Amino acid sequence: MASNSKLDGILFDKDGTLFDFRATWDTWAGELILELADGDAARAGDIAYHMAFDLELGQFLPHSPVIAGTGREAAECAARALPGVDLDALEARMNASAAAAPLTPAVPLSPLLKGLAASGLALGVMTNDSEMGAHAHLQGAGVADHFDFIAGFDSGFGAKPDAAPLLAFCDRMSLTPARVAMVGDSAHDLIAGRAAGMVTIGVLTGIATEADLSPLADVVLRDIGALPDWLAT
């Protein structure tokens, strides 16, 4: 296991990490699919199929490409069931809808982030959501000011599982990647962290299981609330 004793920064994923995935995005997706289908049950079923979303259960299936994908990738999935749709307009519509989604924090965020920052850690967020969505969600939760770096897939650094957006955080904060932890709930997060040479921390507030994350993580925690105790050990 990589050492946790010399960390200078922590880079968080957003959905499934700072915010509980199912409590937020299952509800959002179910409502969005019905809206896009415009009352057509067959079309709703087709959109759900391409997004790997179970309409009856009201939840994403574990293999859904939307879970860890970018906003563009989510729009591309939905577009397969909407012949002739303008993909750019659909992406913008979905991004705006996502930015307005009411998120459920995985743990009380402000005291946790204040404590981590007070210990001298630089804090960042890198999400495959849009930068607009990231700022909207973090501001809505009252925690945007706790972060030194906030980036989305469209911020110009690329998207996970590429290491480039993670290294952009290191460059911005003048940090050595080996002294930074990438915290996330998906394989995309941890693959990117490994590629960047960072400590990788998995959390179980997304859809992936401990068995899914363990091969890619230096440690798997129940949620980000366990970070202070882990850092202290």
- Three-state SS for 42? helix
Q: Is the sign of the CA dihedral 17, 21, 23, 28 positive or negative? A: positive
User: What band does 54 get if pLDDT is binned at 50, 70 and 90?
Assistant: very high
Q: Are residues 145 and 168 in the same domain?
A: yes
Domain boundary among 99, 123, 149: 99
- Average pLDDT (172-199) is 98
Is the same domain home to 112 and 205?
yes
User: Which of the listed residues 79, 99, 119 is the one where a domain comes to its end?
Assistant: 99
Q: Are residues 93 and 207 in the same domain?
A: no
Q: Are residues 144 and 206 in the same domain?
A: yes
State the pLDDT confidence band at 24, using cuts at 50, 70 and 90: confident
Q: Does 186 fall in a domain?
A: yes
Q: pLDDT by residue (tens digit) across 72-82?
A: 999 999 999 99
Q: Supply the pTM of this predicted model.
A: 0.86
Tell me, yes or no, whether 15 and 86 share the same domain.
no
- The domain in which residue 84 lies consists of 23-99
Q: How many CA atoms lie within 13 A of 185 on its CB side?
A: 25
- For residue 3, the model assigns a pLDDT of 42
Indicate the number of domains in the chain. Answer: 2
Strand partners, 202: 184, 220
Residue 41 inside a domain? The answer is yes
Confidence of residue 183 (pLDDT cuts 50, 70, 90): very high
* Count of helices and strands (H, E) across the chain: 11, 8
Q: How confident is the model at residue 5 (pLDDT cuts 50, 70, 90)?
A: low
